[in-house]
Copies of this chain bind each other. A is one copy, B any other.
Amino acid sequence: MIFENELVKVEIETSEVPWVKIFTQRKIKEFSECSVDEKLEIFRIIDVTEKYMLDYFKADKINIASFGNLLPHVHWHVMARFEADSYFPEPMWGEKQRQAELNLPSFEVFFTQLGEQL
């Protein structure tokens, strides 16, 4: 976990691309059940994370998604995508396009600094 407050917590998803998941602390199923404060906090974190992924990794695109089909607890994915990653231009849940060998700056430094920014 890299950040937590009374509304949300932010976790790392281990992947070849930089990827975080934002969970509501409350166990609710659908985004429309979130309070205004929860929604605003999720969007604040998406915004900070996206900007920092673009700046730090020079990502080609940011992907954002909330599914919850398997885990019916509101959570959002924010992923930095690269034209050379294994799934681009497919979503990370799509068909693998290649075996990527990305050479990216330290994920550890990124996640630490992101946690501090949040």
Q: Are B62 and A91 in contact (CB under 8 A)?
A: no
Give the top 10 A-B pairs by smallest Cβ distance, nearest first: A69-B89, A65-B65, A32-B50, A64-B66, A91-B93, A93-B94, A63-B67, A70-B89, A32-B51, A61-B69
Q: How far apart are the CA atoms of A47 and B61 in the complex, in Å?
A: 24
Q: Are A90 and B88 in contact (CB under 8 A)?
A: no
Q: Are A88 and B62 in contact (CB under 8 A)?
A: no
**Residues of chain A at the chain B interface (Cβ within 8 Å):** 29-32, 39, 43, 46-47, 50-51, 54, 61-70, 72, 81, 88-91, 93-95
A39-B43, A46-B31, A64-B31 known; A69-B90 Cβ under 8 A: yes
Q: How far apart are the CA atoms of A51 and B33 in the complex, in Å?
A: 9
Interfacial chain B residues near A43, Cβ < 8 Å: 39, 43
A70 to chain B, nearest CB (A): 5
When C-beta atoms are compared, the residue in chain B nearest to A71 turns out to be B89
When C-beta atoms are compared, the residue in chain B nearest to A85 turns out to be B69
When C-beta atoms are compared, the residue in chain B nearest to A72 turns out to be B61
When C-beta atoms are compared, the residue in chain B nearest to A67 turns out to be B63
Interfacial chain B residues near A29, Cβ < 8 Å: 61
Interfacial chain B residues near A66, Cβ < 8 Å: 63-65
